[in-house]
Structure 1
């Protein structure tokens, strides 16, 4: 979790040097404020020399002007460090989301979008705040110590011990504070999620008379959040105590030690100067550190924990299993969109051996895409079992199957990055895939694999070809094309489907045209009353729907199957 922070801080040493240099300028008032006040009073106004007094005040004013210039440059230097950090986190989140999308056939989920748009920005802002306050604290403390030592060294004995005690007290509470803050943030997220689910399902909750159960679940989340908030408040009290000890106890000790300082030869100006060092520089610096690390430091840690640990996709996803084969088995599978809805798929038994090539045919809305979603584990059956390669579909490792939906997914990046996203294939394999699925003309038009693309630069047909080539290169043993060629012309569609048939593995095609069915080894016909599986000749005899479609089909028209 600390690795991206170290990389951000060491990526460009020049920026660290630049930040340190301008921090010295920004800390100039902390160095001279007490000395200027003391000399302006004791050597200037108090001694009847107003010109000297104004000169010292002018020096202080010049320090503030220098600090203003330094502050502007510090912001720019911090941005130069933080923005690459943000880009690295964003690239990680997008990489994770795209990998999930490309392997599952689904677009980025709400969690990925939230990480990209909220947690990355939260981490960036928190990191910038932590850099700012830690840097400011360090340079301010050094400046104050040097200033006090120049003014009257004895005052350090009154200021430094309580200041260090407050700093130690805060350091000891920081770990507990981070833990409590993280618990509160997670509890808040769970409460928000429960409320969102409740609001989105109010009609279903009322229809099912589940008001009490849902209210109990939401109430439990609220109670957990309240408990986390109270725990956080108790630890926050230690933060306040550390600020009181380290920031304001030195003021009392300087005031109480005034007689001793006067006996040591300090004048009234020196006393006021010492108080100015503590109240105008040291205490605010400690307060900013306590506030910055206590809030933004914890936020940074929580955000990085969520982004890097929750988002890191291992080679084999946690809890996922590798397929033993590329086949599939459905046993008594029933699925309906809602507890009172008619089943879209009802008690379906289906065996798909490895290496089979099946085209799924039926009217729109009959359940073809639902079948694809069940095979990929995107949907869970209401009853029955869906096994892919001997593994429950919802536990199958994403690397073992790939679904290409009708809306092809293309992300901003180079063409090569889009093509090799699931495989990291060498150029020779990419060239083969491009040639097989018919992408050669697009590669030439774009100017090669290094061309930058996004969905806005490609037509729907070109996007589908890119997604098909990506799936062709993937190591998946099962490929499901859910009308993934609907924007291609018949010749391009035939070339792509034949390429996947030669590729090997199991191929399931949700047919958009009858020609897809004729190219398949077997045809699965879904007509709303039954599901039949067989060859073209067998389906002509067994399925009136298929016979009707085939009887009306004219090869030259490439009739679409969607009514």
Structure 2
């Protein structure tokens, strides 16, 4: 039922293209009606009556019908493309979103091989959907043209055509469920064989070293044999398609020929008999053959591919960690969400998170409250879990235990759009796309647009005015490959500054900036309305913050700089590696940072 709704929805969402498709189908089906009539009249009223000009005129009419059909076929293909390409894009979004859901909820790297396999299924579904639309529509219009044409010639021959056609369609329909089951098994077998072969190739050295060639050969051979057996069974079943075509497409010709003496006695002319055979042989039989081939192969593939996509690409997947269903929203380079939810405090209550079910927790039983307007710096050694805390706070990762609340609302209950407007996260690798500078800066802004004066204010505050001028202004096209990492970070920071989100998370988002540029950007966000959380790349970020969260293993300490100096040995150790650059005579730093500037090489 879900697949049927998906396919019908894909067609229904494009009503203009659907109307265009059916309109041009009439033109494409013109020979289905005209051909038999033209042959019958050309023979009876033209050549047999000694009027060759009239006979040629009817044949020219048939040629004109075929020319019209060629034009209609081209337009039909364009209309089908306008329906199936958005369908393909929707399936790809589904696959990517599902992959990100599973990756975010498990904390594991996305399975690129699985994504590639699902991408192949998407392309298969797109091509199969297009083929099913094309052949089904062609069959319906062709049969309608044949029925009308035969009725206008002689209604006595219609049962000879329709009865075998119905029988052939019934036989074909009865074989479809078994075909679908075998096609599904074949796809799974193909994936199993591919996986076995890939594992064998990756482990060739170990296999040889352990002398396990025979064992591995037997295991892979079983997968290959299984796939071959299913393929043979499917091939045997496809013989039913040939039988269906013989019954529905060729048997009517035989019946008409056998019944010719009786039809002639009832007044049928040679032209009527030949026109009827033309209808069957030239229109009905090819249309039925296309339907049997198209639905029997592409229709079955379409259903199976969609089942695979919906089953493995859907998000969030059902899973449990701590007895709860795990859900996740996709991570992006920059995210922003609902002013209502983000304007209230961020709370983490008993949050525990590990990358994998058997891994040691990166964060364990963390309790943290960040009130509205706070400025928090998160510090600690590399790999200690600082970015994990940011991802948990942003709702990108889901904890195994505990809760993350934005404004008292569980983050998992916020929809993607609400979450997007509530907070903005800028990671270390800033995302800049090819487009104008205005588009890059303003696409998180309210309504996706910002006036020049608003852009000017943000650009000046964050410190990218010089870069904006060098790029050529807001309407200049940005080529990400021509920007340095620091320049991309400045653009991403300005974009976050312009977003409506009142919770800003900077996950080492200034690591490619010099200390002065970093200080200016952080001070701009601190002065901006809302809450700021900085995953510190330099300890100067801790000195600018109101409070500091020190990550120390799975433990965490929270307080002011002075409180952390007094109570956290790790924080004292980190700060102890710094010295006054003025006393050392090494380098110049902003005066407010000089007592804790990083030692120059």
Do both share a fold (TM > 0.5)? yes
Q: Does 1:360 align with 2:380?
A: yes
Which residue in 1 is equivalent to 2:71? 69
**Deviates most, 229-238 or 240-249:** 229-238
Name the CA distance, whole Å, in 2 between partners of 1:124 and 1:487. 43
Which residue in 1 is equivalent to 2:259? 257
1:408–1:463 CA contact under 8 A, matched in 2: yes
Deviation at 1:452, TM superposition (A): 10
Which residue in 2 is equivalent to 1:302? 304
Q: Deviation string for 1:263-311 (max 9, x for gaps)?
A: 2222334333222221211111011011111222223333333444533
Deviation at 1:97, TM superposition (A): 5.8
Name the CA distance, whole Å, in 1 between partners of 2:309 and 2:102. 15
Name the CA distance, whole Å, in 2 between partners of 1:455 and 1:505. 27
For structure 1, the residue ranges without an aligned partner over 5 or more in a row are 336-344, 362-367, 379-386
1:104–1:376 CA contact under 8 A, matched in 2: no
1:404–1:480 CA contact under 8 A, matched in 2: yes
1:415–1:451 CA contact under 8 A, matched in 2: no
**Deviates most, 443-452 or 457-466:** 443-452
Which residue in 2 is equivalent to 1:407? 429
Which residue in 1 is equivalent to 2:326? 320
Question: RMSD between aligned alpha carbons?
Answer: 5.6
**Deviates most, 444-453 or 149-158:** 444-453
Which residue in 1 is equivalent to 2:172? 170
Which residue in 1 is equivalent to 2:401? 390
Name the CA distance, whole Å, in 2 between partners of 1:334 and 1:496. 40
Name the CA distance, whole Å, in 1 between partners of 2:513 and 2:363. 32
Name the CA distance, whole Å, in 1 between partners of 2:41 and 2:543. 98
Q: Deviation string for 1:4-58 (max 9, x for gaps)?
A: 4334423343433332232222112121222322333344334444333323222
Q: Deviation string for 1:50-98 (max 9, x for gaps)?
A: 3333232222222212212222222222233333333444444455567
TM-score (norm: length of structure 1): 0.70
**1:135-534 residue pairs with structure 2 within 5 A?**
135-203=137-205, 206=208, 215=217, 218-314=220-316, 319-320=325-326, 325=349, 327-328=351-352, 354=368, 358-361=378-381, 368-369=382-383, 390=401, 406-409=428-431, 419=444, 460-461=485-486, 463-464=488-489, 481=507, 483-494=508-519, 509=536, 511=537, 513-516=538-541, 521=548
2:17–2:79 CA contact under 8 A, matched in 1: yes
Name the CA distance, whole Å, in 2 between partners of 1:181 and 1:223. 16
Deviation at 1:170, TM superposition (A): 1.6
Q: Deviation string for 1:188-209 (max 9, x for gaps)?
A: 2332233234323434555676
Alpha-carbon spacing, 1:157–1:535, altered in 2? closer, same or farther (3 Å): same
Name the CA distance, whole Å, in 2 between partners of 1:43 and 1:91. 60
What is the aligned counterpart of 1:56 among 55, 58, 63? 58
Deviation at 1:549, TM superposition (A): 5.8
Name the CA distance, whole Å, in 2 between partners of 1:448 and 1:101. 38
1:93–1:115 CA contact under 8 A, matched in 2: no
Alpha-carbon spacing, 1:138–1:551, altered in 2? closer, same or farther (3 Å): same
Which residue in 2 is equivalent to 1:381? none
What is the aligned counterpart of 1:128 among 127, 130, 140? 130
Which residue in 2 is equivalent to 1:10? 12
Name the CA distance, whole Å, in 1 between partners of 2:402 and 2:104. 20
For structure 2, the residue ranges without an aligned partner over 5 or more in a row are 329-346, 370-375, 393-397, 404-410, 558-562
1:517–1:523 CA contact under 8 A, matched in 2: no
Q: What's the secondary structure of 2:429's corresponding residue?
A: coil
TM-score (norm: length of structure 2): 0.67
Name the CA distance, whole Å, in 2 between partners of 1:312 and 1:21. 36
Aligned residues: 523
Q: Deviation string for 1:360-405 (max 9, x for gaps)?
A: 33xxxxxx34867998999xxxxxxxx956379xxx9899999975
Q: What's the secondary structure of 2:379's corresponding residue?
A: strand
Name the CA distance, whole Å, in 1 between partners of 2:70 and 2:115. 38
Alpha-carbon spacing, 1:267–1:188, altered in 2? closer, same or farther (3 Å): same
1:334–1:348 CA contact under 8 A, matched in 2: no
